[in-house]
Structure 1
Amino acid sequence: MQIFYAMLLEAGKILAFVLVSFAFLVSALILVRPAWAQALNASFNRSFSTRFMARGMNIEFTTTEKIIKHHFIFGALFIFGSAFILWSLMGSFSPGRVVTYLAGSITHPTHRWLETGLEIFSRLMVFGAWVGLISGITLLTRPEWFSQCTQKLDQSFWVKKETSGALDKSHDSIDSWVWRNHVSVGLVLLIGSTGLLVFCVQALISGGLN
């Protein structure tokens, strides 16, 4: 488990460095080249607008139909994958470990909070594995129940037209406010992203030296 935690921590450092570097570049564009930042934002909005998300829901419906059609294969994959995760993580299960880490976070804040986050993440993986195991068994034995459950979830989390329209309007108003105040917004974002970038570089260097 220590190797698994170390891999997760290193992957998190690299991901944080990439995200902060991107935020730094975007902040600099907002400050000195607002037209370029606006063009980048427009392309981003076209790719992730609610209209494109609604089109993607049709693909998800088709994927669900394929899963139901080949429920023996997908059910077995769900069961084996979830069972492997449970077998890997449940061996080190300790309900009081998170409480112990939280109590020790006062004396060793940075190290303890990292351990606490990893411990909570592993418990979430255990919960997800149990959900996957139950879903796999249901898909393997009662595919019609699985189909009904997915349909209810799709209806519950479906973005309605009025909701998507309100989101589009709010995004447009926020974007226009950012472009009107691009100097102040760019400065604040640039200062914050610079500090985070320095912190991430120091974390990567210290991790590599250790």
Structure 2
Amino acid sequence: MNAPLRVLLVDDQALVRAGFRVILGAEPDIDVVGEASDGLEALRLVGEVHPHVVLMDVQMPNIDGLEATRRLLGEHPDTAPKIVILTTFDREDYLFEALQAGASGFLLKNAAPEDLVESVRVVARGDALLSPEVTRRVIARFTEPAAAPVPERRPDELTDREYEVLVMLGKGASNGEIASRFVVSEATVKTHVSRVLAKLGLRDRTHAVVYAYEHGIVAPGMA
């Protein structure tokens, strides 16, 4: 049996942390290893309890969740835990700041308990946690009409097939859809996706979408 996933809770409301602890503590594969009431305390605790996943509130005293995320991932990009931003505010500025800071997911606090549990498992295995609605917002943000088309900048480090996979990722395709397009197994697709992310230094699929639009690899209106 694999060791439980280690989770750090960061929220300035003790009642919220207690609720999350009860929900997550009921799962045999998840272990809540610490709690912090602000971003500054979170930065200290990460080095002590070594979590796999941090559930990070946005609005907190001293250092807010977005700044804590930037510092944590900026100082330890290779060893930092996965971060899920939690908020009661469905605001796009939080969403895009969180993604730009390197967060792996964004979850509203009114999500169902099972969604909270699944969020920990999803980001721990290296996937991005964004609902279809949030994904649509990300794509819409990077497909707004621009004054001039972005010239394509194909990354030299990718093979032809890896580049094709990146294009499909940029269009929002799932592993199953990519597998069908290239007539390969989903396991093969996962390998290609992992290589694309590693070679380009991207944290997850969502950041691959952003990369594809920013580099002209995918353009608005591409099917």
Answer whether TM exceeds 0.5 for this pair: no
- Which structure's residues are more often helix, by fraction? 1
Using CA pairs under 8 Å that are at least 6 residues apart, name the structure with larger relative contact order, 1 or 2: 1
